[in-house]
Chains A and B, each alone.
Chain A
Amino acid sequence: MATNTAAPPESTAAPASSGDVGGPRPDGHGRARRQRRGWLAWLWLVLGVVYTPVLVVMVLSFNASRYGTLPFAFTAEWYVALAGNDALISATGRSLVLSTSVAAVAAALGTALALWMVRFARSGATLFTALLTTAITIPWLILAVAMLLVANAVGVGRGLPLLFLGSLAVAMPYVVLVVVARLQGLGTELEQAARSLGARPLTAFRLVTLPLIGKSVLSGTLLAFIITFNNFPIHFFLAPFGFNTLPMEIYTFVLSGYDPDINALATVLISVAVGLGLVLLAVARRRGGDATATSRLQEMWG
């Protein structure tokens, strides 16, 4: 099986490296070419470690065998089973609602906080940035246990408010840090220019600052969404009993025996994520004259 799916990275590597076959070159380039090959191999190895299992899962979701054995026989029965698996579907719904609401609040509050830090807390900004950076390095498991301890001590206990608050506390620093970095790069002159031309503070923000930090806000929000969606330790310790998020549900399933409809669910989720990413890139590119969006695309596919 492993050899089967290891093939795609290699086969896609071929056209990439064939790009530098441009006729004879002076000797000095030989070393550079060997180095280039070495780095490419390393890159594909890393990508392979991430994508091979994903591809295996996707292939298996269409395989008739319950235990992932060969030969491969196509079936859609696991998707049918998934459609009937209420536990997984409702867990997915809970996860989506939780992640969306946390991401939305993190986006609004995080952006506001970032603005305040850069514009008004000038000397404090460094300290706050350091504290937030430290906060995101704390292991989530430890954070979750500690939060539950404190919540129990003050008599709040597990529950939706605690789950929401805990998720927000983990996700918001990402929004803040991403937006702060962008705002610091932007400086204050653009906003001052808008003000001097007659824009009131809010108008200046809406017409000048927001469009320019929009992409950072969006990437911070997506980060917050993904982190909240994935945050098993926080869900596990802070969610009220009976409120199983998707990671918790999958964990339960795996404990009790692994059904291929989880493969089917994984395939659906990955497809949605990839599709969403492509749509976002396409939107970013279509806003003509947007050099950064196109160059980011080129970085990815160039």
Chain B
Amino acid sequence: MADLRLDEVWMSYSPEGPPVLRGLSIDVADGEFYAMVGPSGSGKTSILKVLGGFVAPDAGRVVLDGSDVSGVPPERRDLGIVFQSYALFPHLTVGENVGFGLRMRRVRAREQRAEVTRLLALVGLPEMEARYPDELSGGQQQRVALARALVTRPKALLLDEPLSALDRKIRQEMQVELRRIQREAGVTAIIVTHDQEEALALGDRLMVLDAGEVRQEGRPAEVYSHPRSRFVATFLGSANLLPATVDAVEPSRIDLGGLPAHGLILPEGSRTGDRVTVCVRPERWRLAGDDGAAPDGLALRATVRSVQLSGQVGECRLDSELGELALTVLSSQVARLEEGVEVSLHAAPDDVHVLEEPAAEPTEATEATAPAGSRP
């Protein structure tokens, strides 16, 4: 158990190659579950390699438990790592796999056996010692990998896309299990994943990574509901992105192609005339009429073009004066939203985020790309 820090880390795989990590800093507190999420190629796995000691950074420091471990080889970092492929030793039994770290520390055989039994019970796989990894299901292998990483009571646990190889159903079950085990072991944990749902569900704190840089960091709910960039808005969940111009700063007024919006919080240092992007989460629209006309926020009329029901929620596409919009409602409300019906949409000021970047192209005004992982 310990805190863990990366200080201005730069890293590239070859001297001429482009840097994979660009001055990256993170600070993970003792006992915290820290989730790093980003698209493939964003540098997630490279961070774990640097933390694990398998790759040396070109610049910057890795601080573990208060001391700089930059030159320390992997075997002396005292970290538990769960690899994406689990990396269980196929020629050793489950018991030997879990006990490997203790064997390396020359723990006595009797204690080794006791610890292995304890860890296998913790991950919910009692009496599996004699099996070989290839006799286990994917979920069981995952648990063994977790037990093996935890048996040495490491200073921190690194998880590299630990659930990506599992079925959706088992994945959700394992998310809950991972949290429980991490809590019970009281270990600092860092998980990297490309799955936004996993990151939102698991992390005490969340960091969105793109091209080797931290794009946003904070509590999952906060990052999700207050994205500060187009990238974060679209990578974590889906978003309506609308081009707009700042009309007035104090009090704020924003012009979305003729449609005004009042009372929004502007990015710091905004000036009249700035081109910005307005972001509204599809589930944050309220169907007006619910609570009458609201003075602040964004209100507009739109026509339902299509409705797609997916379990608990319905996903709608609407045509409006701002172009195509995405709207997500609970399935109980879907009945009201037939094709061709005109509705009034309202988004409260707190649900409308003004992003500093101008929309890339006017035609790209609406973006509602849900990452593949979020669909059943």
Contact = CB atoms under 8 A, between A and B. Distances in A.
Interface residues on B, range: 20 to 34
Interface in A200-229: 200, 203-204, 207-208, 211-212
A55 B89 CA distance: 44
Given A189-B87, A203-B104, A196 B132 contact: no
B134 A189 contact: no
B75 A189 contact: no
B279 to A, nearest CB: 39
A187 B148 contact: no
A85 interface: no
A196 B83 CA distance: 11
B105 interface: yes
Nearest to A192: B54
Q: Which of the listed residues A189, A193, A290 has the most CB atoms from chain B within 10 Å of its own CB?
A: A193
Given A212-B91, A291-B134, A200 B75 contact: yes
Nearest to B154: A196
A199 B81 CA distance: 13
Contact of A198 (B84, B85, B90, B105): B105
B367 to A, nearest CB: 36
Interface residues of A, number: 21
A194 to B, nearest CB: 7
Contacts of B79: 196
A198 B152 CA distance: 9
Contacts of A208: 89
Contacts of B52: 192, 196
A195 interface: yes
Interface in A77-121: none
Interface string B127-167: 00000101000000000000011001000000000000000
B134 A197 contact: no
Given A195-B74, A198-B152, A190 B89 contact: yes
Contacts of A199: 75, 100, 104
Given A189-B87, A212-B90, A196 B104 contact: no
Contact of A197 (B54, B84, B93, B148): B148
B104 A192 contact: no
Interface string B76-98: 11111101110111110100000
B75 A195 contact: yes
A289 interface: yes
B73 interface: yes
Contacts of A203: 104
12 contacts: A192-B52, A192-B54, A192-B87, A193-B83, A196-B52, A196-B79, A196-B149, A197-B101, A197-B152, A198-B104, A199-B104, A207-B100
State the 6 A-B residue pairs at the shortest beta-carbon distance, nearest first.
A198-B104, A197-B101, A193-B87, A195-B74, A189-B87, A196-B81
Given A189-B85, A189-B87, A196-B77, 16 more contacts: A189-B84, A190-B87, A190-B89, A192-B81, A192-B87, A196-B75, A196-B79, A198-B78, A198-B101, A198-B152, A199-B75, A207-B100, A208-B89, A212-B90, A289-B91, A289-B93
